Amino acid sequence: MASETIMNHQEKAHALLKADADKILKLIKVQMDNLTMPQCPLYEEVLDTQMFGLSREIDFAARLGLIDEREGKVILEQLEKELSALHEASLKK
C-alpha cells in the first residue's frame, strides 16, 4: 500500500512538473512565432522567472525523492534549448 502511495505521488509530481514545463514552452513558442523579444524585454524577464520557479520545483521534488535529479535536468535542458533557439531567432530578425 505504501508503495502504491509513493508511486501515485511520483506520478503526480511528474504530471505537475510536465504541465509547468509545457506552460513555459508555450510562452517560448508564442515568442518564437511573434519574435517580439527585442521590443519586449519584460517577456524575457517573465520567461527567466518561470524557468527559475520550475528549477526550484524540480529541486524540491528531487529532494523529496519524487523524481530523479537527472529527469529534472532533462526537463530544464529541453526548455533551455528552446530558449536558446528563441534568442538566436530574435537576433536574426
Domain count, the chain: 1
What CATH number corresponds to the domain at position 63? 1.10.287.750
Does 21 have pLDDT greater than 80? yes
> Can you tell me the distance from the alpha carbon of 91 to that of 93, in angstroms, rounded to the nearest whole number?
6
Model pLDDT, residue 39: 57
pLDDT in tens, 74-88: 999 999 998 888 778
Model pLDDT, residue 74: 94
By residue range, what is the domain housing residue 63?
A: 2-92
> Can you tell me the distance from the alpha carbon of 32 to that of 69, in angstroms, rounded to the nearest whole number?
29
pLDDT in tens, 24-74: 989 888 877 776 555 567 777 888 899 999 999 999 999 999 999 999 999
